Structure 1
C-alpha cells in the first residue's frame, strides 16, 4: 500500500507528495487572497527584519573583534615601543656610565700618582729630618757625656777632699748623731702611736661589749617583763576562770534552790489541793452515810413496832 504525505507550505496551499516526489497540488480555497497576501507580506517583512538584525549583530561582532584586535595590536606595539625605548635608555646609560667610569679611573690614577709622589716626597723629607734629629741628639749626647764626665770627676774630687777633711768628719758625726736621735724619737713616737691605737681599740671594744651587754640586759629585762606579764595574764585568766566557775556554780545552786523552792511550793499546793479534795470526799462520804442513816431510821421495818423505841416480840 502506497503512503501519501501532505505538506503545508502556505495557508490555503498544500502539496500532496508521495514516496517518489510531488504528485498533486491542492489549490487555494476561495476567500483567502487578502489574508494570505497580508500574511505573506508580514512574513517577508519579518524575514527582512531578521536578516537586518542578523547583519547588525554580525557587523557588531565583527566590529568588536576588530576593536579587540586593534586594541591588542596597539598594546603590543606600545609595549614593544616602550621596551625598545627602555633598551635604548639602558644602552645609553651603560655607555654614559662606562664613559664616567673611564674618566673616574683616569682621575683616580692621576690622583694616585700624585699621592704616590707626595707620599714619596714626604717620606724622604721626614727621613732626612729624622736623620738630622738623630745626628743632633747623638752630638748632644756626646757633648753632654763629656760635660757630665767632667762634672762627675770634679764632684768625686771634691767629695774625696771633703771626706779627708776634719770639718767634714765632724759634720758627718754630728749628722749621724742627729739622725740617730731622730731615729730614736721616731721609734718612741711610733711606739706611742701603736700604744694609743691599742688603747683606742680596747676602748672601742669595751664600748662595743658594754653596748652589747646593755642590749642583752635590756633584752633580758624585756623578756623577763614579758614573761612576768604573760604569767600575770595567765594568773588573771585562771582567777577569772575560777571566779566564773564559782559564779556559775553559785548561780546554778541558786537556780537549783529556787527551783527546789518552786517545786516545794508547787508540791505543797498540790498536797493542799489533794488534801482538800480528800477532805471534801470524806465530808461528802460522811454526809452520804448520815443521809443513809437518817433514811434507815425514818423507814418502817416489817415485824417491828414502835413501842417506846423497843421491838415487840
Structure 2
C-alpha cells in the first residue's frame, strides 16, 4: 500500500473532527474502566478495548493518545507495535500508546475507519486525528509523532504521563509534579438540564433519547447552537451505528449516482475525521443528481456543516463548492 509522503499541518488537524467521547461512552465499562483505568503493559502503553476506551478518551484531554489498531494475524502489526512501544518510551510520556486488537474490538475499528491493519490514529481532546496505515520506516513514524505533538500543543494538550521525562532525551521541568496522578482539568460549568439529559442518554447508549432531549432544547431555544450541534452529532452516530464500512463503500462505488449510498459513506468519512472527503463526495453527488434527490443531498451536506462548525475553513470552502454545483 502506498503511503503519503509525510505529515503536515494540513494533513493532521483537529478542526471538524467528531467527538469520540460520545462513541466510546456507548459501550458498557468494565470495573477497571469504571475506575478510569485501562490495562497497562508499560508506563506509557495500555491495552485498550471497547469497554475501557472511554478512559483513554478522557486522558486525551491531557496528553495525545496514539491508537495502534492491530491484528494478531498481521506480521506488519507486530513489527509496528514494537516500534511504537519503543518510541513511546523514547518520547518520555508525551503521548500514551493505546493498542487495540481489531479482531476483538470491531466497533473501534469502525469508529476509526480502519481499512487495513496496521492503522495508526490519534485522539486529542476527545477528537480523532488520522495518522497513517501500514508499516513505515522509523523516521517517518517519528515525523508523524512530532507533527501530532505540535498539533496537540496548539490545542493546549501539553501534559506528560506520570514517570515521563518530556521530550526524547530531555528532562521535564515538571518531573516532580509528574510523580503522582495527572491533575484533573478545571471543572466546567454545569450543562443545561436538557443538555445533561442528552449526555446521560448517550452514556447509556440511548441515542434516540439523546436526540429527543436535544430537539426539546432547540424547541425551547431556537438559537441554542450547542444543542443543534449536539443533535447533528447524535444523528450522525445513529445513522452509522452498526454499519459495515467495507460494505457501504462497495455499494457507493458500484452506484455513484445513488444519493443514499453516497450519503452513508460521507457520514462514515466524517465520523473518521476525513472531513474534506465527506464534503467532496456530497458535492460531487449534487452535480450528478437532480430534483428531490439533489435537494436531499444538499440538505444532508448542510447538516454535516453543522457537525463540523460554520466557522471551519473547510466548511467555507465546501459551501462555495456547493453553490457552484447548484448554480
Tell me the TM-score normalised to structure 2 length.
0.11
The structure whose Rg is larger is 1
Q: What's the TM-score, normalizing by structure 1? A: 0.12
Comparing both structures, which one devotes a greater share of its residues to helix? 1
- Bigger relative contact order (CA 8 A; separation at least 6): 2
